Structures are given as structure tokens and as C-alpha cells.
Amino acid sequence: MTGALPTGVPAIEAVDVSRTYELDGVSVPALRGVSLTIDPGEYVAVIGPSGSGKSTLMHLLGGLDRPSGGRLVIGGRDVTTLSAPELATLRNRTIGFVFQAFHLLPRTSAVDNVALPLVYRGIGARQRRDRAAAMLGRVGLGHRLDHRPNQLSGGEQQRVAIARALVTDPAVLLADEPTGNLDTGTGEAVLELLEQLNAESGVALVMVTHDQEVAARARRRIAVRDGLIRSDTFHDRPLSGGDGGPATLDPAPSAEPRSASGSGPGHPSGGSGGAAGATGRLPRTSGGPERAPGPRPDAETGSGGAG
Ligand SMILES: Nc1ncnc2c1ncn2[C@@H]1O[C@H](COP(=O)(O)OP(=O)(O)OP(=O)(O)O)[C@@H](O)[C@H]1O
Ligand SMILES: [Mg+2]
């Protein structure tokens, strides 16, 4: 499962990427020059204190937001060269998102929540449902296709969100505190599912966590502080496994930026704009367009939003 990634191209490449929010005339430098490369199939944990810029980084890596400075290449394409609809299409083809708060459409069945990103691919209703049902089967919810989110447990809702993120066969799954709203046991099951999907399908998993024990399971750990990457280390063995220390401890990112062809093969748009997830233009339901709570579904920050 490597999505629409051209061969030999990193899934995501960021070079000196910054993001400054402007709020009431005040500049908030949330990211201050971050460089990293995410390769296909990696398992990366992103850790750091609250407010250090982790979610800002995830939004950028997933093309939900654009950098204020630097170079960001997703799936071989430089995001600065893309229009909003082109970026949404790229997101739909390359990235899946899972958030702490699930962001499912509340009045929509599990299978229709999962099928939604396929709408933007121009795939017919029958095939959408088949693929969504198969994906729900893979996350252990084949018996819950027609349940709405409020008829599912928290762990089941997160499984639906994971199925929705992966139904498009993305190259990268970005998960921002995916177990943050779950109890320990349920969180562990969701984590194991994510790790299993990463190992089996080859989708790169980039996961923000506050939990050092969770981070210790990833082969690569990126520590963010004050909008900068403080360390980027690879580990042969999990920290919890004993003495297995980090392979490197550079203060600078150890992942060397690589050149990527700025213009990969064209991506003929399969739909109107595309979306990785549930926000953006949505199918009508009886009460009008339904929208998942979560990131604003405007053109730049959310039209391909909640994965
Ligand atoms: N839309 C915004 N407008 C203005 N400032 C913002 C906005 N979003 C985030 N910030 C600020 O940017 C900084 C980084 O925020 P971010 O959400 O990336 O942190 P985080 O590391 O994900 O924190 P947490 O662990 O609490 O989720 C914070 O100081 C935050 O207040
Ligand atoms: Mg955050």
C-alpha cells in the first residue's frame, strides 16, 4: 500500500519549513524551521511538550495547511506550486489522517463514513461500499457497518476513523494523539492495530503521542520543542526492551533531506477537488450537509481534512 507515490520518492520531504500564525496582529511562530524526510513504510513517533508545534507540523506534513516558509514536498510534489484543489487531490491520494477526537460524521453510518473519501475519487456507490466494508473488516468492524458513531464505543469509533484514513490506500498515515481519548486498554488495542497496518500494508505511520512508552515502540522518534526538531533518532530496539539505546543522538535531524523530483507524474483528478477525509463537500443527508466536528473545512485547512 503505497498510494500514488512515484517510485523512489520520499513520501514527504520538509526543508526548513516554518509556520507563523497571525493572531490579532500578533505573530505566533509555531514552527521555526523544520527539516525531515518521511520514507514509505516508516514508523515515526513525534513527541514534545504541549504547544511545541506537533499538531502544526502534522497539518503541514499532510497538506492541510501551507508553510509560511521553506520547502514542502508531498508525494513528489512541491505544495507551493499547487492550487487549493490540486493540494486537496494530492492529500486524498497520498495522506490519511486520524485525530484524537475521531471526527466522524455523527449522522452517517460507519460504512458511509469510511466510503466518503472515495466519493472524491469518482468511484461508483457500489464499489465505494464494497471497499469501505472490506476496510472495516480489516479493522475488526465487519459486523458494525450500519452503526452510527453514537452507537459505537470510543475504540470502535477510532477504528472507523482509521478505516476511513486507509480506504484510499495512502502512502502515509498521520495520527495526532490517536489514543488520547481512549482508556488504556482500548488505546493499546488501537495502537496495535495501527502498528499491524503499518507492518502489513507498508503505509508509513507518523504518530504524535504524549506517552513516552508509546513513543518507545516506534523505530524512529522525533522530539519537537519550541517549534524546532530537537532530536530525530532511529532505534534498533524499542526503549522498553532494555539497553537498546538510540542509534544516533544528534541534536539535528538525522534524516538527510533528499532531492525529490518537483514534478512527478501527473495526477489526473479522479474527483472534484478530492479529500483525504470527512470534511469539505459532503454528500447530503436528510438534514442537509453534515459536517464532522474538527478542523475548519475551508479551502486551505480542511477540505481534505479529517482523514
Ligand atoms: N490557529 C492558530 N492560531 C494561532 N496560534 C496557534 C494556532 N494553532 C496553534 N497555535 C499556536 O502554535 C503553537 C503550537 O501549537 P500546536 O497545536 O502545534 O502544539 P502541540 O505541540 O500540538 O500541542 P498539544 O500537545 O497541546 O496538542 C502554540 O503556541 C499554539 O498556541
Ligand atoms: Mg496538538
CATH number at 197 reads 3.40.50.300
Q: Which atom of ligand 1 is nearest to the CA of 28?
A: 5
pLDDT at 8: 83
Beta strands in the chain (DSSP E): 12-23, 26-38, 43-47, 69-74, 77-78, 95-99, 172-176, 204-208, 220-225, 228-234, 284-285, 288-289
Report every protein residue that has its C-beta within 5 angstroms of ion ligand 2: 55
Question: Model confidence over 173-215: pLDDT tens digits?
Answer: 999 999 999 999 999 999 999 999 999 999 999 999 999 989 9
Identify whether 231 is part of a domain: no
* pLDDT surpasses 70 at 280: no
Q: What percent of the chain is modeled with pLDDT above 70?
A: 76
Identify whether 35 is part of a domain: no
Q: Which atom of ligand 1 is nearest to the CA of 224?
A: 21
Describe the crossing of helices 125-138 and 154-166 by its angle, rounded to 10 degrees: 130
CA of 77 to the centre of ligand 1 (A): 26
* pLDDT surpasses 80 at 273: no
Task: Give the closest residue to 72 by CA, choosing from 183, 82, 147.
Answer: 82
Query: Is any ligand 1 atom within 6 A of the Cβ of residue 296?
Result: no
Task: Give the ligand with the smallest distance to the CA of 31.
Answer: 1
By DSSP bridging, strand 95-99 and strand 288-289 are unpaired
pLDDT at 118: 97
Query: Is any ligand 1 atom within 6 A of the Cβ of residue 21?
Result: yes
Rounded-to-integer distance, Cα 54 and Cα 52, Å: 6
Protein residue whose Cα sits closest to atom 4 of ligand 1:
21
Classify 14 as helix, strand or coil: strand
Rounded-to-integer distance, Cα 285 and Cα 231, Å: 47
Query: pTM value?
Result: 0.81
Q: What percent of the chain is modeled with pLDDT above 90?
A: 72
Identify whether 154 is part of a domain: yes
Identify whether 129 is part of a domain: yes
Identify whether 301 is part of a domain: no
Classify 52 as helix, strand or coil: coil
Rounded-to-integer distance, Cα 12 and Cα 166, Å: 17
* pLDDT surpasses 90 at 34: yes
Identify whether 245 is part of a domain: no
Q: How far is CA 58 from CA 5, 139, 189, 209, 301, in A?
A: 19, 23, 23, 12, 12
pLDDT at 180: 92
Domain holding 283, by residue range, is 40-66+79-226+264-289
Query: Is any ligand 1 atom within 6 A of the Cβ of residue 300?
Result: no
- Place 301 in a pLDDT band, splitting at 50, 70 and 90: very low
Identify whether 34 is part of a domain: no
- DSSP notation for 125-186: HHHHHHHHHHHHHHTT-TT-TT--GGGS-HHHHHHHHHHHHHTT--SEEEEESTTTTS-HHH
Domain count, the chain: 1
Our CA dihedral for 195, 144, 98, 307, rounded to 10 degrees, sits at 130
Protein residue whose Cα sits closest to atom 31 of ligand 1:
51
Rounded-to-integer distance, Cα 221 and Cα 145, Å: 35
Identify whether 244 is part of a domain: no
Pocket test of ligand 1: the residue of 54, 181, 226 to mutate, having most ligand atoms within 8 Å of its CB, is: 54
Query: Is any ligand 1 atom within 6 A of the Cβ of residue 18?
Result: no
Mean pLDDT of the chain: 81
pLDDT at 49: 96
